[in-house]
Structure 1
Amino acid sequence: MVKLTEVEDEHFSQEKPQPSKHNVLLASDDEEEDDYTDTESEISNEDDVELDGESLSDRLAALKDIIPPSARRSFNNTVSNVTSFTKSGLSFSGKALWVISTSAFLLGVPWALAYAEEEQYIQMEREQGMIKGANEMLTPGTAPTEEQKASQPSL
């Protein structure tokens, strides 16, 4: 835990401020305007501070007291609301992705297979038509085939 100790300035501990003319401590006289600089005072050494006994969590816990409780409460509420919104959004998007992908597999795969089969049939008909046209061009004077006879009306 962090311990606070009050360090008094040497100047103030040796000389107590005396009230001036009218019992006012902060009255400014022309004589008292000299700035006081304490060049002999010692800056606290790092040896005085005991950091070995503190962990990072102890230091962070001590920082908690800097923020007022109302600000901590509002920050906590904001973080919990954002966390809740994020969780619900991710949950909804995961469920929606599952529904869309499942529907695509159940409806899309059979449709794609049927479409590919239909394209094969169309391609086969084109090939047969091309073969038939090539045969007619190679043998122009031949007798009509049985299929052609059946399709011609009789007189």
Structure 2
Amino acid sequence: MSGLVLLLEIADRRAALRTSEVQSVVELEAVCPVPGAPDFVLGLTALRSSTLTVVDAGAAMGLRPRGPLGSDARAVVVDHAGHRYALVVDAIDDVAEALGDPVPVPGEAGPGWQRASDGLIETERGPALLLQLETVLAGPVAAAA
């Protein structure tokens, strides 16, 4: 794999998304809860006259939930299957060049990471787990399906 990735942090681990999947990075403002939504869906927010579903990336992967959103909450805006999402992560680092194809994760990364990543990629800023956007957005229930 060659190309650019957005480096981010989820549950104390460096992860990456292909920049082709990323529309923008935003600071979240008001998030309106949605009654009956899965736990990993934090609610809805508005961005430039469109509605985004706000997803806690860690909780969606079956990891620990991020906790309450503070005034510094940042999210990666992605579009998948015609829907726009704000993927809330713990931190957003930078854009980096992927230096090769993903390789299997050595050792046991944990079921959430194993299921939601294409493997480990090396970047100019160090290794990162390359996320499968569709799997993350599906939430932890997808593991049982």
Both proteins in one fold, TM over 0.5? no
Structure with the largest fraction of helix = 1
Classify the TM-score, shorter chain: under 0.3
| TM-score (norm: length of structure 1) | 0.15
| TM-score (norm: length of structure 2) | 0.16
Greater relative CO (CA pairs within 8 A, separation 6+)? 2
* Structure with the greater alpha carbon radius of gyration: 1
Structure with the largest fraction of strand = 2
